[in-house]
Amino acid sequence: MVYPQYITWNRITWEPRPNKKRNLAVWYILSFCTALVALNSFFMLFEQLVSYRKDPDINLTSGILLVLVFAAYSISTAVSLTLVLHAKELCYLFKSLLKMEKILNFDHGKSGQPELDLVGIFLHTLITLVTSAPFATCLVPTLLHNIDITYFWFRNVTMISPFITLILRMLIIFTFTLHIGVAMFAFEIIVTNLVLFFKQCLKSMTNRRLFMFPKCFFKYRQLEIMTTLLNQILSFILPISLLLPFVCAVGMGYIVIKMTFKVPLPITFLSLCIISTVLGMAHLIMPLMAELTIRSEEFIRFWGLQGYSKYRKRQLKSCGKLKVYIGPFYYLVKGSRTGFLSKVLYYTVSSVISI
């Protein structure tokens, strides 16, 4: 990265740790400006909805981009707040789960080498997207000069030449896109790896020999505490990161289906990228989080069928299922992915039919 991030990594042990505050001046400035842009885009959209006199420069295309800007900058702001408030807890979880996973794999006679799967391919695709998106988005002012949010900032500035204004707009878009991409996708990669560690630990603790129960029970208690900590970290960011991409997926689906020939080609391409990313996250990441509950149920069921003493059975009965909560009343289950994708499809088709 061109500037230090809030979480850095030990190059020897590859364990995360919060960066020192004196190294984060650029990160704090960009995060604060990101929050201001999110507020600015929200008030621009709100003004267009409630005011009698509309801004003549805001058409359908620029309105779509304003919605995307508001969603992306809001999620990035939520990620930044989560890092500021819970960076130490996040690093503690990562190091503890990594250590537990290595110990359990060693005891179980496994090498602990990562396997190639769709989740890994998707995460590597996100890394590619982060590195390429800034270069693609900064070209928007050269192709369509009056649709992105920077146009509304500079449209009344006359003391700067148009060429210098264009360069400034491209630099602003490049910088903020890079910051937002790193913030959102790096956080998602860290959380996904945490969930993978949870899954691997639960898998290693099931189907063990009978004399291993005390150790597995102790490790499961630790996982219960870590799950509570994970839910505290995700309590603010997870609802936002599901709601706003849901709205964007419905809106972009409407554009791809009904307005392909009415909006510029770059907007159609951007819509396809957003839909692919949101659907990929829903298809791969949501079941991974829901699998924690399934694996914990398998752990309790397996050890409950071993015919232990009443004392051991009471210990096992005290174990609760591991759950990843979305808000205080709902947690991810096996059917959450189907419910999310069906809602996206339903509201997309409804908007295409009714609008």
One pLDDT digit (tens) per residue for the chain, 355 residues: 578 888 888 877 778 888 888 889 999 999 999 999 999 999 998 988 888 888 888 887 788 888 888 988 999 999 999 999 999 999 898 888 888 877 776 555 554 455 557 787 888 887 887 888 888 888 888 877 888 888 889 888 888 888 899 999 999 999 998 999 888 888 888 888 888 888 888 888 886 665 577 888 888 899 999 999 999 999 888 888 888 888 888 888 888 888 777 777 777 777 777 788 888 888 888 888 888 999 888 888 888 877 777 887 788 888 888 999 988 888 888 888 899 989 989 998 998 888 7
What are phi and psi for residue 325, nearest 5 degrees? -90, 145
- Name which of 247, 231, 245, 246 is nearest 331 in CA terms: 231
Distance CA 318, CA 236 (A): 28
What would the two tokens of residue 73 be? 């900058």
This prediction has a pTM of: 0.87
Return the pLDDT at 112: 47
| Residue 340 token pair | 């999310």
Listed in sequence order, the residues at least 6 apart from 45 whose beta carbon sits closer than 8 Å to its beta carbon are 63, 66, 67, 70
The CA distance from 25 to 5, in Å, is 10
Among 69, 55, 65, 60, smallest CA distance to 262 is for 60
pLDDT value at position 25? Answer: 92
Q: Which pLDDT value is given to residue 1?
A: 57
- pLDDT, residue 40, reads 92
Cβ(123)–Cβ(189) below 8 Å: yes
Report the chain's terminal Cα–Cα distance, integer Å. 44
| Contact present, 160 and 168 (Cβ < 8 Å) | yes
**Residue among 187, 192, 190 at smallest CA distance from 289:** 192
C-alpha triplet 155, 157, 159: angle, nearest 5°? 145
The answer to whether 248 and 68 have CB atoms below 8 angstroms apart is yes
Three-point CA angle 112, 115, 119, nearest 5°: 125
Residue 83 identity (one-letter amino acid): L
From the number of C-beta atoms within 10 Å of its C-beta (0-12, 13-18, 19+), residue 210 rates as exposed
Distance CA 140, CA 137 (A): 5
Rounded distance between C-alpha atoms, residue 237 and residue 84, angstroms: 12
Q: At which residue do the structure tokens 């908007």 appear?
A: 351
